Amino acid sequence: DAMVIQNPRYQVTQFGKPVTLSCSQTLNHNVMYWYQQKSSQAPKLLFHYYDKDFNNEADTPDNFQSRRPNTSFCFLDIRSPGLGDAAMYLCATKAGQGNEKLFFGSGTQLSVL
């Protein structure tokens, strides 16, 4: 059974039209991450939550926002998508602050037309 669930699997949006990607987890993990993965590139960390404590990476554009209303759910909001934001977006969770493994969802492939 999937433990980190991302919906939808494929998302198409228009240039400049806000879009929200969702992630839910059944693991009750404290930490949730959002990564952006462009074709043939390494996944790049956008931000993460430790419980409700939000941590933004220094080079994450302001266009990207996130919400975590409860332990189970986390959302990625792209306020005005550009063509360069087309990518796979990966959600991951982790139990605590150490070097435990991450659990990834299957990702959402975002296309911007």
Partner 1 sequence: GNSVTQMEGPVTLSEEAFLTINCTYTATGYPSLFWYVQYPGEGLQLLLKATKADDKGSNKGFEATYRKETTSFHLEKGSVQVSDSAVYFCAATNAGGTSYGKLTFGQGTILTVHP
Interaction site with partner 1 (CB under 8 A): 4, 6, 31, 40-43, 45, 48, 50, 55, 90, 92, 94, 97-107
| CB of 18 vs partner 1, minimal distance in Å | 25
Q: Kindly state the smallest distance separating residue 13's Cβ from partner 1, in Å.
A: 22
SS (H, E, C) 72-97: CEEEEEECCCCHHHCEEEEEEEECCC
Cβ 82 vs Cβ 112: under 8 Å? yes
Of 28, 29, 34, nearest to 6 by C-alpha is 34
How far apart are the C-alpha atoms of 38 and 46, rounded to whole Å? 13
CB 65 to partner 1: min, Å = 19
Given the complex with partner 1, which of 43 and 81 has the nearer CB atom?
A: 43
Torsion of CA 48, 54, 59, 64, to 10 degrees: 90
Closer residue to partner 1 in complex, CB, 86/88: 88
Between 81 and 107, whose beta carbon lies closer to partner 1?
107
Q: Compute the least distance from the CB of residue 57 to partner 1, in Å.
A: 9
